[in-house]
Amino acid sequence: MDTPLTAHTEMDWKRVMRPAPAWFRDAKFGLFFHWGPYSVPAFENEWYSRNMYAKGLSQNLHHVNKYGKLSEFGYKDFYKYFTGEKFDAEAWADLIASSGAKYAGPVTEHADNFSMWNSKVNPVNSVNYGPKRDVVGELEKAIRSRGLRFIATFHHQWLWGWFMSTDPEADVYFPENEVFYGKALPLETNRYIPWRLPDDDFNRTWMQKVIEVIDGYNPDLVYFDSRANIIAEQYKYKLLDYYYNRPGSSTDGIITYKQDDFPEGTGIRDVECGRFSELQDFVWQTDDRLEAKRTWCYVEDPKYKSATEVIRNLCDIVSKNGNLLLNVGPKADGTFDDEAVKVLHEIGNWLSVYGEAIYETRPFVVYGEGTTEQKDVNFDVSKIEAQTRKGVFDEEETSNLQTEDLRFTTKGNVLYVIVMGCPKTDRIEIKSLAEGAGLASKKIGRIDVVNGWQNLEWSRNTSALTVTLKGSMPSQHANVLKIIYE
């Protein structure tokens, strides 16, 4: 692929500024899938490909005990077991649609240099090895055939130093294995921010892989994991300029990025496993995991979050001007754990009834009210650096929303009030909608319960809007009051 660059490439960042497209603001909920050779050992997490080479870490000890010395059984030796013999793109797309997600796609390349598409840039790909199939291509067709948006997620900036081992006999240092693991580099390059940054060859290949996917599959969203800050600016600029401004490009494609890896305004900020305590004036996304264990891929004896937790988090995120991109990891054979499927269907069932309070909505003047104290949470640089040292995530901070917590969304002349569960009394008091300011000052025509009673009794004074219920509300996950203004 001919994409020449020099250190003197002129960069006009205003040329690659893009607002969040309407489709993204309307979609609210997406799915992606960590699936690759790391799904074969299915031990602890998707960083297995890195941590198996770090002597003394639990994944290294597990690997040597189960598979043998690193000089005899390296990461590349998992390829032949990553067969994906039950992978069915149509079944995946059915699951995506039934979950209520409006955009989805696979991890296109993780940090392990294994491309999940029919790549000419990288011979280590899912057509030449493993499943012997174009996973990205098959999913792109199946997802789009259901009227959903297709996304491609990239984590491959982590490849710089990823495989460098504290075992000098490891197969990553064999010259003939450079095609699998990259050049042998100083060990310090596996830090989050190394002293030795990527050279032009690495930067160019990093860019060309993404451009190849853009050309081949035209993703509606290109997601970049953290650590893209180590990529030279001119390569990132050239890539964005190509994605946004190439002849025939889609006008509503967008990137997401983490931390300050790309200039503000060039895409959508992604807050990993995070949240904001308040409504934001910019559109954002959080990528999070269905997995309750600290992993992004399928692992043995999996545990999953409940549908209630995911639904309430989604409502909180949407009320604050955000989207949720949820990960679920398939097994090595390409199927999903039964419990994961069950939870996704449960989420989809809720959205099929209450989705009018989520899809195509916009924030109210305040996100909501309630008793649960929240604070800003992000998988930030300090947490990333801790993971690179330990090989596992630190414990996460959780915020379990309760029935007293309310979240607001709007659409046209409707204000939705999302109640986190079933109220314990027959009255809901909404202090934010007391007589006074903003949308609350408009004349209320009626108040209904979505999937429930119509035309409820209500009263309003300078303290609160009080809505009187007629009995128990229908959903254990979250319920919705629909306030229709005249």
CA pair distance 164, 229, nearest whole angstrom: 20
Helix axes 135-144, 89-99, angle to 10 degrees: 50
- Do 225 and 153 contact (CB within 8 A), yes or no? yes
Q: Give the per-residue pLDDT at 437.
A: 57
Q: What is the residue-averaged pLDDT of the chain?
A: 93
Residue 377: DSSP 8-state: B
Topology annotation, domain 13-390: TIM Barrel (3.20.20)
Q: Give the per-residue pLDDT at 80.
A: 98
Query: At residue 7, does pLDDT exceed 50?
Result: no
Q: Give the per-residue pLDDT at 440.
A: 61
Q: Give the per-residue pLDDT at 248.
A: 80
Q: Give the per-residue pLDDT at 45.
A: 96
Query: At residue 383, does pLDDT exceed 90?
Result: no
**Residue extent(s) of CATH 2.60.40.1180 domains in the chain:** 406-485
Closest CA to 323 of 23, 32, 28: 28
**pTM for this predicted structure:** 0.94
pLDDT in tens, 211-243: 999 999 999 999 999 999 999 999 999 999 999
**Residue extent(s) of CATH 3.20.20.80 domains in the chain:** 13-390
Q: Give 215: exposed, middle or buried? Use CB within 10 Å, 0-12, 13-18, 19+.
A: exposed
Query: At residue 263, does pLDDT exceed 90?
Result: yes
Beta bridge partners of 460: 465
pLDDT in tens, 297-338: 999 999 999 999 999 999 999 999 999 999 999 999 999 999
Query: At residue 4, does pLDDT exceed 70?
Result: no
Count other Cβ atoms within 10 Å, centred on residue 269: 22
Residues above pLDDT 90, as percent of the chain: 86
pLDDT in tens, 92-133: 999 999 999 999 999 999 999 999 999 999 999 999 999 999
Q: Give 4: exposed, middle or buried? Use CB within 10 Å, 0-12, 13-18, 19+.
A: exposed
CA-angle at 369, arms to 366 and 372, nearest 5°: 135
**pLDDT range class, residue 373, cuts 50, 70, 90:** confident
pLDDT in tens, 267-295: 999 999 888 999 999 999 999 999 999 99
Q: Looking at residues 155-161, what average pLDDT do you find?
A: 98
Q: Give the per-residue pLDDT at 396.
A: 59
Query: At residue 3, does pLDDT exceed 60?
Result: no
CA pair distance 374, 54, nearest whole angstrom: 37
- Do 368 and 406 contact (CB within 8 A), yes or no? yes
pLDDT in tens, 408-434: 999 999 999 999 999 989 999 999 999
**pLDDT range class, residue 439, cuts 50, 70, 90:** low
Q: Give the per-residue pLDDT at 6.
A: 45
Architecture of domain 406-485: Sandwich (2.60)
Cα distances from 302 to residues 41, 195, 333, 422, 476, in angstroms, run 13, 37, 15, 29, 24
CA pair distance 58, 71, nearest whole angstrom: 18
Q: Give the per-residue pLDDT at 438.
A: 58
